[in-house]
Amino acid sequence: MHDPIPDWVPHRRQQIGLQIRAARRTARLSQIQLGDRIGRDHKTISRWENALTAPDLTDLLLVADALNVPLADLVR
């Protein structure tokens, strides 16, 4: 049996999504454009930005590279 997810996890996932959205907008990219750059569907980008799902480490690295931002800026 798995332990329940701590209350702070959904909040952090939401914050990461907001950071991705902010960095994407600063780069003046649409969700479609970012998705094309990292090989993901724009719906996946939307789900991350809206905290419906969370990107894994590989996806975070790809996003940081595509947006030319430090990884720490996305997960801070």
CA dist., res. 1 & res. 41, Å (int): 33
CATH fold of 8-75 reads 434 Repressor (Amino-terminal Domain) (1.10.260)
CA dist., res. 38 & res. 6, Å (int): 30
To which H or E segment does residue 18 belong? helix 8-26
Break the chain into its structural domains and give their ranges: 8-75
pTM of the model: 0.91
Encode pLDDT of 17-76 as tens digits: 999 999 999 999 999 999 999 999 999 999 999 999 999 999 999 999 999 999 999 998
CA dist., res. 32 & res. 35, Å (int): 5
